[in-house]
A and B are shown apart, each in its own frame.
Chain A
Amino acid sequence: MTWLKYWRKKVHSLNRVQVYIVITVHARFHSHFKELASTGEDSFVIEIPTVSEFAKCICEKYGARMRAMLIDPKTNELNERGTMFVNEKGMRVSAEDTLEDGETITFLVGIAGG
């Protein structure tokens, strides 16, 4: 969905009542993410359907340590160091990626081998 289409969809004027189209995105937390959130899954209603907005909502709810895990303080982008965020197809998502209503993003630690 392009930004233009999104904003057209998001805001409608109907008899002077403004209707916002929002989406629900599910989060599945594993390992250290799960410990920080104290839960394995959660859902968030977001107004801007991007991964960065989704991450922002998660940080707001779970606080500074979750923020430190999710966001790279230097770049203000998603923290790539020791983490892995994937969609339902197993593909890594980036901050600028668009999300669909009902989609689930899984937050994993990025560790391999031993």
Chain B
Amino acid sequence: MESRLLRVDLTTGELKSEVIPHSIFERWIGGSGINNWIMWEHFLTHDINCDPRGPDNIFVFGVGPLAGTGAGSGIKGRITFKSPCYNMFGDSAGGGKFPYMLRFTAFEYIAITGKSPKPVYLRICNNEVSLEDASHLWGKDTLQTHTMLREELGTYPSKVHTLSISQAGENQVGIASVVSDALRIHARCGGGAVMGSKNLKAIAVQGNGGLPIAMPDEMLAWSDDFRQKIDSNEAVYGFKRRGTLGAVEMYQHIGSHFWRNNQGNMFRGGEITSDNWVNKYHKYSEVCSSDCFIACDAKYKIDGTESEAAKKYIGESFRRPEYLTTGSAAGALDVRDWAEVAHWGKITNDYGIDNQDLSCAISFLMELKQRKLITDQDVSELFGHEQSLEWGNMDDIEACLHSIVFQKDLFGKLFGDGPYLGAIRYSELKGQNFMKYATYGKGGASFTEEMRPFPTWMNNMAVASRGADHLKGIGLIEKFQRKDLSKIYFDGRTEAADLTVPTLKGASTALIENQVALLNSYGVCLFHWMLDPAGYTPQDYYGKAYAAATGIDRTPDELMLDGARICNLEKAFNSRIGMRREHDTVCERWMWEPTEEGMYPGSVAADMFNPVLDEYYEWRGWDKESGLQTRKSLEACGLDDVAEVLAQEGSLAK
């Protein structure tokens, strides 16, 4: 297995092609693993404490070896950089056709440094690469940018697929995202601001090359088996029909929504509390990540008959809302109309902004207003005009979004990096401590789900390398109380599935982080694995597909060690910038404020937080007191060189 990396220095305009040798795949698998290594190496020669919006930051795009192979497992590309909103390790996955189209050119990885003197876009057409003037695209949103590039670049050798930013990225808003084909969003951590800071508006790719597959027959056989497994599970049809919206009713039942800045955990209102809306208005899927046998996404066009509010958005077409878009609107902001939720999904995508961070920032302010902690005068100071900040008021919500995207007033400037830094800045400005109302973990914005009854999820919020993240160590065993999985993973023990005890929760985080690191490095979607974690094991079942695609045949144990290596490198990055145990924490609301509704009332993180965190460090082999990695733990996964760097900088446990 070999691959090509395109290095782009935007300061000098130099474009350089490099071979990524087989040995790098042997060590880092691909996808996010290789991205991490490219960034790690970059910051061995550049100041890791640099301004993330400065030219020394790096922006890496990579796609794993299973993407585009016909494996049927969905494709995820990955962007990796130092996060401008959280000031730590940052990365984000996104689907669509851009990732596999990149594989059809001569490149699979792109590393961008420096800063262009003027707006440009990077064009890759098979093995030809160039930096093109993007002044005509500057000021456009992601849909306009994508449409214009498609018109300009034609359809040969293939349709154009794009990765672009909107005005939010151009304005270097910390929570600005990167959008693939104007449809699929790399939302988290502020990659859009990094692109904007480099004056890079977009990447446009066209390719018609083939993909090297080490063992094509084995790949096809695996793909066939995968298809049959998917088809034999009736739950998949429910997933095709609703996508992640299937979670709405489950969460409403157990109390796992994030309502009004997590003051509650159930949606209010009629239809918004169920997924009947899907049945009424949607057919089966039309669009999704390429190469996916499930295809849980679908297009939706508002026709105005859905509700009174829908009349404002007639003709608006986008993906139907997925769960977290719904959670951010119907939950965090208490929007009670499905058409408005759909509209929210579209505008946050078009403006290329993370609707998790955004909704948490807006709902933080709404709660201050609700509690009369700020006055109408205070609100006017923030926006330059009156604003009701009523829960669910879509006009107000859009005004807040515009404020952040266009950085046109005080609110936008204070909260452009999300709720955590926004709350700190606003508390300082007003001379009052409002942090009690900010929801975050490790400085990263919460994602809009209730987590207090679920100790593994809470631990994930505290330890995830990119801050408050549900995906890296996703707590499937615990939330779904899967004793069967707990038994498989932990030698017959069932505590990992028991919500009432801290035992095996930190262990679950560590184990699943390693598995997810593998999936992210293969370049596939997580959802197939989530539907059947015991069936589609990343280290075994997917490992066979990886072997077929790359020729790298590993045992399940070896692959789990590869996953651990990838996680440890992300941790080492954060240790180098000074993060320690005290940073592995969550907000006051989660820690101390009990849940009052749902099936698990009275839950607070504090009940189990420290034992779970201790156990996590133990399973990782890290020092419990400092939270730092030990030399032994790093050497165990073949990271002797990384241990040496940390030792030199005083970031290795003594």
Contacts and interface: CB of A to CB of B under 8 A. Distances in A.
A94 interface: yes
A44 to B, nearest CB: 19
B279 to A, nearest CB: 7
Given A82-B235, A94-B483, A110 B250 contact: yes
A109 B248 CA distance: 10
B244 A111 contact: yes
A35 interface: yes
A81 B535 contact: yes
A59 to B, nearest CB: 12
B236 A114 contact: no
Contact of A80 (B232, B250, B324, B484): B484
Interface string B468-494: 001100111001111111000000000
- Tell me which of A31, A82, A90, A110 has the highest count of chain B C-beta atoms within 10 A of its own C-beta: A31
Given A94-B483, A112-B474, A113-B471, A32 B246 contact: yes
A113 B470 contact: yes
B470 A31 contact: no
Among A28, A81, A83, A89, the most chain B Cβ lie within 10 Å of the Cβ of A81
B578 to A, nearest CB: 29
Nearest to B238: A32
Interface of B: 232-239, 241-244, 246-250, 253-254, 274-275, 279, 322-327, 447, 449, 470-471, 474-476, 479-485, 497, 530-532, 534-535, 598-600
A61 interface: no
Contacts of A79: 233-235
Interface in A63-80: 65, 68-69, 73, 79-80
Contacts of A91: 481
A56 interface: no
Contact of B244 (A32, A34, A73, A113): A113
Most buried by B among A28, A31, A92, A112: A112
Contacts of A112: 247, 449, 470, 474-476, 479-480, 530
A31 B253 contact: no
A30 B244 contact: no
B275 A31 contact: yes
Interface string A21-46: 00000001011101100000000000
A35 B279 contact: yes
A81 B235 contact: yes
Contacts, number: 121
A69 B236 CA distance: 9
Contacts of B279: 35
B233 A30 contact: no
Contact of A82 (B483, B532, B600): B532
30 contacts: A28-B253, A30-B249, A31-B249, A31-B250, A32-B234, A32-B235, A34-B249, A35-B238, A69-B235, A73-B232, A79-B233, A79-B234, A79-B235, A80-B485, A81-B535, A82-B236, A82-B239, A86-B254, A86-B481, A89-B599, A90-B600, A92-B482, A94-B483, A106-B253, A108-B249, A110-B250, A110-B480, A113-B247, A113-B470, A114-B243
Nearest to A82: B235
A32 B253 contact: no
A80 B482 contact: yes
Chain A CB count within 10 A is highest, among B233, B250, B327, B532, for B250
Q: How large is the interface on A (under 10, 10 to 19, 20 to 34, 35 or more residues)?
A: 20 to 34
Contacts of B275: 31
A81 B238 contact: no
Contacts of A58: none
Given A32-B235, A69-B234, A82-B239, A111 B247 contact: yes
Contacts of A81: 233, 235, 531-532, 535
A111 B239 contact: yes
A57 interface: no
Interface string A46-66: 000000000000000000010
Contacts of B481: 84, 86, 91-92
Given A109-B249, A113-B247, A113-B449, 8 more contacts: A35-B279, A80-B485, A81-B535, A84-B250, A84-B480, A86-B481, A108-B254, A112-B449
Contacts of B485: 80
B250 A30 contact: yes
